[in-house]
């Protein structure tokens, strides 16, 4: 019998080389696999809802793992795991799901937020991009709406990845502000590698007056990554939701 | 001619041995003195509104400095200073004041906030106290009101300090909650060393049911520091306002 559990968690990505296990670098997945294997006393591997790049954070992330026998006291396991895990990874919930549910393949929508701060803030060094420039938010918002007209985002994907298709359906894309903080919210059925940071960089160019709606549209239509704007730093990016 | 300027700033205290200059340890004041002396091209010393202990933060701090000649372009100096200062110290404003104004002696009220989080949060390690225990907030709030009946807070001050009087007038003292976060706000004309953290520790004991209103009152009346509760960690404490 195989039992499947979903884990809802958050992590500060600053000290990790992203979610995905890789040789010679510490990843969130590796740290979780070790902790779960220790506490559950059997080799346990977590499958994540997606990958996040080096330095990217998740205020909401979902992963699944399988066991051969039911976990008797989930509450107890949950506390033991949170005690064992380092401060920058925190579990919010563990719950059993149908064995057909898959953290990655069953996810219908993923949401990211990107945080730009306009004033130096000692408390946000690792969780925002400090850009002390005047940005035209209306222009950035107008350009973001163009994203809804397209589904091939090759222009915003990292070159030479092994992904088979660059087609994504965008559900949300807008800028909002809170004090001296600017927040870009974007959700889609899936994201290409580096996509959010390249979109934000291209929209920041619009906000700075270096680019405009017409140029933003040309970037998308060109399907050429080298036309897109700079990639904004990973530290401002948060995975904020995964919907099943 | 002496011209006096006020500086409004914020800092993350994690990497500093408090505000005050001291031998063999890095302080916020020392870093600011160096930066101001460099940018103003004359030896400049800042006087702070008060001292904060090692690891304590300030989201709002005020200091003053004097010059012999007016600063021609404050805006420019302000940006140069923020560029030179490390990421964890940020200036918000520099403005000229009457030469009788003093950052410390003219301050009428200082406000602190203490942050306790009840759920593990990867983003708040350095800026809160994680206490995974059920706290009775109503009891903590009722006990805080007792503070208004007293003015001698010897019980909450660090022993063997050189302060001449332990008399303070409390203006605000209450707990509020925001999600899984508990916030204690306290303001007074002045604070004794370690006072806020000892008060919070004693109130947490009330919240845990280890103490009660009667005992909290006895602590204050005893005027003996060894009766008070534990000192909560510095990382949850913020100086949040100084009123002139």
Does residue B85 share a domain with residue B49? yes
Give the residue ranges of DSSP H helices in chain B. Answer: 28-40, 74-84, 137-144, 195-207, 213-222
Distance CA B69, CA A44 (A): 69
User: What H or E segment, with its residue span, contains residue A160?
Assistant: none
Please indicate if any CB of chain A lies within 8 Å of the CB of B84: no
Our answer to whether residue A66 is catalytic in this structure is no
Does residue A153 share a domain with residue A231? yes
Distance CA B167, CA B182 (A): 27
CB–CB of B121/B188 below 8 Å?
no
- Write out the catalytic residue numbers of B: 53
Place of tokens 């800028």: A175
Probe site for chain B from A118, A120, A124 (most B CB atoms < 10 A) = A120
| B31 domain residue, yes or no | yes
pLDDT value of residue B161: 60
How would residue B159 be classed by pLDDT, with cut points 50, 70 and 90? low
Strand segments (E) across chain B? 3-11, 47-48, 57-67, 89-97, 109-117, 129-130, 170-178, 181-188, 237-243
pLDDT tens digits along B63-106: 999 999 899 999 999 999 999 999 999 999 999 999 999 999 99
Does residue B228 share a domain with residue B168? yes
Does residue B85 share a domain with residue B114? no
> Which residues in B lie closer than 8 A to residue A92 (C-beta atoms)?
119
Task: Please tell me the distance in Å from A124's CA to the nearest CA on chain B.
Answer: 9
**Residue contact A88–B121, C-beta within 8 A:** no
Question: What are the percentages of helix, strand and coil residues in chain A, rounded to 5?
Answer: 30, 30, 40
Quick one: which of A95, A82, A104 has its CA closest to A5? A95
| A44 domain residue, yes or no | yes
> Which residues in A lie closer than 8 A to residue B91 (C-beta atoms)?
120
Q: What is the CATH classification number for the domain harbouring B70?
A: 3.30.70.580
Please indicate if any CB of chain B lies within 8 Å of the CB of A119: yes
Does residue A200 share a domain with residue A224? yes
Distance CA B27, CA B48 (A): 12
% of chain A residues with pLDDT over 70: 98
| B156 domain residue, yes or no | yes
Domains in chain A: how many in total?
2
**Residue contact A89–B122, C-beta within 8 A:** yes
CB–CB of B114/B200 below 8 Å?
yes
DSSP assignment letter at A135 = -
CB–CB of A146/A219 below 8 Å?
no
Does residue B146 share a domain with residue B181? yes
Task: Please tell me the distance in Å from B125's CA to the nearest CA on chain A.
Answer: 7
| A117 domain residue, yes or no | yes
**Residue contact A120–B12, C-beta within 8 A:** no
**Residue contact A82–B57, C-beta within 8 A:** no
CB–CB of B173/B148 below 8 Å?
yes
Task: Please tell me the distance in Å from B122's CA to the nearest CA on chain A.
Answer: 4
Helices first, then strands: H and E counts in chain A: 5, 9
How would residue B160 be classed by pLDDT, with cut points 50, 70 and 90? low
- Examine the fold and report which residue of B97, B121, B143 is the final residue of a domain before the chain moves on: B97
pLDDT value of residue A162: 63
Considering only CB atoms, B87 lies closest to which of A12, A87, A125, namely A125
- Examine the fold and report which residue of A44, A62, A97 is the final residue of a domain before the chain moves on: A97
Please indicate if any CB of chain B lies within 8 Å of the CB of A14: no
**Residue contact A57–B11, C-beta within 8 A:** no
pLDDT tens digits along B30-66: 999 999 999 999 999 999 999 999 999 999 999 999 9
pLDDT value of residue B225: 82
**Residue contact A87–B10, C-beta within 8 A:** no
Considering only CB atoms, B122 lies closest to which of A87, A119, A125, namely A87
Q: What is the mean pLDDT of residues A1-20?
A: 96
CB–CB of B62/B49 below 8 Å?
yes
Any residues with CB less than 8 A from the CB of B72 and at least 6 apart, and which?
Answer: none
Place of tokens 């420039």: A133
**Residue contact A123–B122, C-beta within 8 A:** no
Please indicate if any CB of chain B lies within 8 Å of the CB of A134: no
Q: What is the CATH classification number for the domain harbouring A141?
A: 3.30.70.660
The tokens describing A46, both together, are 């977590």
Angle between helices A195-207 and A213-222 (to 10 degrees): 150
- Examine the fold and report which residue of B97, B118, B144 is the final residue of a domain before the chain moves on: B97
**Residue contact B125–A87, C-beta within 8 A:** yes
| B120 domain residue, yes or no | yes
**Residue contact B122–A92, C-beta within 8 A:** no
Please indicate if any CB of chain B lies within 8 Å of the CB of A235: no
CB–CB of A141/A174 below 8 Å?
yes
- Bridging pattern class, strands A129-130 and B57-67: unpaired
Q: What is the mean pLDDT of residues B192-201?
A: 95
- Bridging pattern class, strands A109-117 and A237-243: antiparallel
CB–CB of B157/B140 below 8 Å?
no
> Which residues in B lie closer than 8 A to residue A121 (C-beta atoms)?
10, 90
Task: Please tell me the distance in Å from B195's CA to the nearest CA on chain A.
Answer: 24
For B10-30, give one letter per residue: b (16+ CB within 10 A) or e: bbbbbebbbbbbeeeeebbbb
pLDDT tens digits along A25-64: 999 999 999 999 999 999 999 999 999 999 999 999 999 9
Does residue A84 share a domain with residue A18? yes
CB–CB of B7/B62 below 8 Å?
yes
pLDDT value of residue A160: 59
> Which residues in B lie closer than 8 A to residue A125 (C-beta atoms)?
87-88
In this prediction the pTM is 0.92
pLDDT tens digits along A91-141: 999 999 999 999 999 999 999 999 999 999 999 999 999 999 999 999 999
Task: Please tell me the distance in Å from B231's CA to the nearest CA on chain A.
Answer: 22
- Bridging pattern class, strands B57-67 and B237-243: parallel
pLDDT tens digits along A182-233: 999 999 999 999 999 999 999 999 999 999 999 999 999 999 888 888 899 9
On average, the pLDDT of chain B sits at: 95
Quick one: which of B141, B118, B114 has its CA closest to B59? B114
Find how far residue A216's CA is from the centre of its chain. 23
CB atoms within 10 A of CB A124: 20
Quick one: which of B38, B58, B37, B40 has its CA closest to B48? B58
Largest Cα span, chain B: 59
Does residue B85 share a domain with residue B134? no
Does residue B68 share a domain with residue B16? yes
Does residue B222 share a domain with residue B160? yes
CB–CB of B170/B192 below 8 Å?
no
Distance CA A178, CA A186 (A): 17
Task: Please tell me the distance in Å from B225's CA to the nearest CA on chain A.
Answer: 32
> Which residues in B lie closer than 8 A to residue A87 (C-beta atoms)?
120, 122, 125
**Residue contact B90–A122, C-beta within 8 A:** yes
Nearest-by-CA chain A residue for B91: A120
Give residue A11's domain range.
3-97
Does residue A173 share a domain with residue A71? no
Does residue A211 share a domain with residue A232? yes
């Amino acid at each position: 019998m195989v039992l499947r559990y979903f884990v809802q968690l958050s992590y500060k990505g600053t000290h990790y080389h992203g979610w995905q296990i890789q040789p010679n670098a510490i990843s969130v997945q590796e740290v979780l696999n070790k902790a779960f294997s220790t506490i559950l006393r059997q080799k346990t591997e977590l499958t994540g809802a997606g990958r996040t790049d080096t330095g990217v954070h998740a205020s909401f992330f979902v992963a699944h793992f399988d066991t051969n026998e039911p976990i008797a006291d989930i509450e107890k396991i949950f506390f033991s795991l949170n005690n064992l895990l380092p401060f920058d990874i925190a579990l919010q919930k563990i719950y059993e799901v149908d064995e057909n549910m898959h953290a990655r393949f069953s996810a219908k929508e993923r949401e990211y937020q990107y945080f730009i701060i306009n004033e130096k803030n000692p408390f946000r060094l690792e969780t925002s991009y400090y850009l002390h420039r005047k940005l035209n938010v209306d222009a950035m918002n107008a350009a973001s709406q163009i994203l809804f007209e397209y589904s091939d985002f090759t222009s915003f994907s990292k070159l030479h990845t092994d992904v088979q298709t660059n087609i994504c359906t965008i559900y949300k894309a807008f800028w909002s502000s809170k004090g001296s903080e600017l927040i870009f919210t974007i959700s889609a059925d899936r994201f290409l590698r580096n996509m959010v940071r390249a979109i934000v960089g291209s929209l920041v160019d619009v906000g700075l007056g270096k680019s405009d709606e017409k140029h933003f549209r040309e970037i998308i239509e060109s399907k050429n990554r080298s036309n897109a704007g700079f990639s904004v730093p990973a530290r401002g990016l948060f995975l904020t939701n995964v919907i099943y």
